[in-house]
A and B are shown apart, each in its own frame.
Chain A
Amino acid sequence: MNAIYNLFRLALIPVLLVASLDAKGLVVEITKGTIGEIPIAITPFELHGLEGTESAEDFADKLQDIVRADLSGCGFFRILSPRAFIQTQFAEGVRFQDWRAINAQVLVMGELQLARSNPGRFIVKFRIYDVFSREELGKVQFDAKISDWRRTAHKIADVIYQRVTGEKGYFDTRIVYVARAPGTAGRPQNRLAIMDQDGANHQYLSNGAQLVFTPRFSPTLHHLTYLDFGADWRTPRVYLMDTFSGQKRQLGSFNGMTLAPRFSPDGKSVIMSYSKDGASNLYLMHLASAQVRQLTQGNAIDVSGCYSPQGDNIVFNSDREGTQQLYVINANGDNIRRISLGGGRYASPVWSPRGDWIAFTKTYQGQFYIGIMRPDGSGERLITSSYIVEEPTWSPNGRVLMYTKKTSAKDKQRLYRIDLTGFNEHEVPTPAHEEALSPAWSPLLP
């Protein structure tokens, strides 16, 4: 009896061994996919308080229009038309199969609260759902002044963008640029202009009496720095403007020309080029103490310095080896190394806020290009070209480049933006009668 029993047990061992050998372990690696837009459905905001009033509905529509425009313009999302929605009443919750049936992958459902008792303010809440897995991805609420409705709508778009793509958004930002009108007596009128990244809320910051160039935001958004040729149009100087008060002052009292200013990442210093006796070198000026430090030496023309986001390196362009090429230098002035390699001339380098790319303008055989390369110079890719394209600036999330473009000699120069993958180019709306040059993108507004 015992023997049989034991034999039985012995027999079980191989069975069990086989069973565990069969345990799951199949891993199928997928390395290719498609790059396409994510279909997203945004339901009309449910209204609470003041329902049925035309103004409330208009307001809700206006908010939604901005959210839709932001998300569809960035190239990641395909906004599904509300006419296609199957589920329109949400009393019993979300019927995910209805959304799956119209191929939505992300669903945004929101509500808007307006109260007569709280005039001038509104509350908007929304939830983001993943339709396939039926999970709620997030919910957010904003409580804002009605007069800030545009910025709130941009912030809603930023939240959705960030939750779904993992990257910070760029919708609640501003652009400063130079608006050039033909002017009179052969003198074009250059004015500093500022607007929301979608072209709204456009204003002029200068009156055109001075010739201004290359405006740039400080990281704290309190200031702008720009180049002003002064009333005599002769000597360009770097100026600092306080964006709140509008007051401006000259930076430094150099005897020669100062050009191409940019802020350091901490906003406390400005890097610029100072030109004297035919040579131009990079200088760093500490704003509070007005102390100036020279970064590059020599007889070459070194211009367009731009800090890396960590502040440890500076990229600039120089003709020290004969043609205009890109160089990187440590922030303390050591270790100048060349990073651009191709033929042609390189200019206006800008370091991405993500730190992983440097964008630049390249001219080669008569054609202009905007390209990107890694900070060590590898991976150079030209992403757009035209009769003239130049002066790229990065969105704060390092994904989108804005630049100025002219498609032919007879064309007007206008602002465009494009994704860093080279797709999804759009014109940025600015007043039609003027040209738009030298854009600079602000950080995300707080």
Chain B
Amino acid sequence: MKRGLVYSLVLHGTVLVVMLLGPARPLRDLPEMMTSVSVEMAPIEDVTRVVKNTTPPPQPVPKPVQPAPVSPKPVPAPEPPPVPAPPTEPVPIPEPVLPPAPAPAPPVPAPVKVAAPDPDAVALKPAAPAPPKPAQKPALPKPVAPPRPQTKPKDIAKRTNDSFSELLKDLKKKPQAPTNPSSAVRLDAALDDEAAAGEASDHLSMSELDALRHQLKRCWNIPAGLQDAYDMIVDVEINVAPDGNVQSARVVNNRPDPQFRAAAESARRAPLHPRCNPLQLPPEKYAQWKQFTFRFNPRDLL
């Protein structure tokens, strides 16, 4: 009897200590999601072994595509197709709806495929210019993301982008295995690596986060010209419903001075803005984004 009691006390005590010490704290650091997703650049050979077959049926080609080229992201027109960095992008995303990531990918491959050699520069030109501009409006968060990570030499980027787009197309088809079993089977080998790298799929990927940032960018009305703007970092904690609608937004680091209060209120308005609801986030990772914090940092302005 006594022994049991001792064991019980010890174990309960251990649990308490563990919880108090808060192992969760380290996770709060930003680096966690800033860590580059381990994107495996499939060697060209692998790629050519695979795919190169069909163009995804629905893909409204004009649609999304390159928001990338439009966005200031310098990187070249060619970039767009690649955007896909998304190999980790499992999200199914229905075509018609303008979902962020996947959407761009499919259409892209189509044009690209047309011209085999150095597809990017050439093929993209016709397809890219038109869609991008108008497409940009519908606000595809996606585009911004890809160019940034790929600041490597353009050439390499182009080539791997091309291979990425192929990959993406296939990945996309993967969930639709039933309808297209042959390609799925063919892809299995090449995609095994991707699956391994998919431990990142539990967390939001770089591109998903960039997509989210791009979406919020349109809703955050920055108080320009505010004195000491660099000082006005506002943390807003939000709760999101499974459909992506923000249910509540709360400023967690309020300060009494009126300038900060105004900056805090304008930051709080951003996730509640109709243009940012619903948030474009992958539904299957809901656990990751059902409650999180936006940090509004006006460091890039006057």
Contacts and interface: CB of A to CB of B under 8 A. Distances in A.
A27 B30 contact: yes
B273 interface: yes
Interface in A135-191: 137, 162-167
B49 to A, nearest CB: 38
A33 B220 contact: yes
B11 A28 contact: no
A24 B11 CA distance: 26
Contacts of A27: 28, 30, 235, 292-295
B177 interface: no
A167 B223 CA distance: 10
Contacts of B27: 21, 23, 25
Contacts of B28: 25, 27
Interface string A279-294: 0000000000000000
Interface stretch (B112-120, B128-136, B182-190, B261-269): B261-269
Most buried by A among B12, B32, B225, B294: B225
Contact of B263 (A20, A36, A166, A356): A166
B291 A24 contact: yes
B213 A130 contact: no
B265 A130 contact: yes
Interface in A1-32: 2, 5-6, 9-10, 12-13, 16-17, 20-32
Contact of A165 (B4, B204, B223): B223
B269 A132 contact: yes
Contacts of A36: 221
A103 interface: yes
B212 interface: yes
A419 interface: yes
Contacts of B293: 24, 26-28
Contacts of B220: 30, 32-34
A400 B284 CA distance: 49
Interface string B234-264: 0100000000000001000000001111110
A26 B259 contact: no
Contacts of A419: 225
B7 A2 contact: yes
B221 A38 contact: yes
Contact of B3 (A2, A100, A163, A399): A2
Interface of B is mostly: helix
A132 B262 contact: no
Nearest to B20: A20
Interface in A29-88: 29-36, 38
Contacts of A330: none
B175 interface: no
B18 A17 contact: yes
B76 interface: no
Interface residues of A, number: 47
Interface string A361-403: 0000000000000000000000000000000000000110000
Contacts of A22: 24, 287
Contacts of B273: 105, 132
A22 B23 CA distance: 10
B4 A34 contact: no
A17 B22 CA distance: 9
A32 to B, nearest CB: 5
Given A9-B8, A13-B15, A421-B224, A165 B262 contact: yes
Contacts of B18: 13, 16-17, 20
Contacts of B33: 26, 28
A372 B267 CA distance: 28
B152 interface: no
A118 interface: no
Contact of B302 (A29, A132, A133, A421): A421
Given A21-B27, A133-B268, A32 B294 contact: no
B225 A5 contact: no
Nearest to B299: A31
7 contacts: A9-B11, A25-B29, A30-B297, A34-B219, A105-B269, A133-B249, A133-B269
Interface of B: 3-4, 7-8, 11-12, 14-15, 18-19, 22-25, 27-30, 32-33, 204, 209, 212-213, 216-227, 235, 249, 258-263, 265-266, 268-270, 272-274, 287-289, 291-302
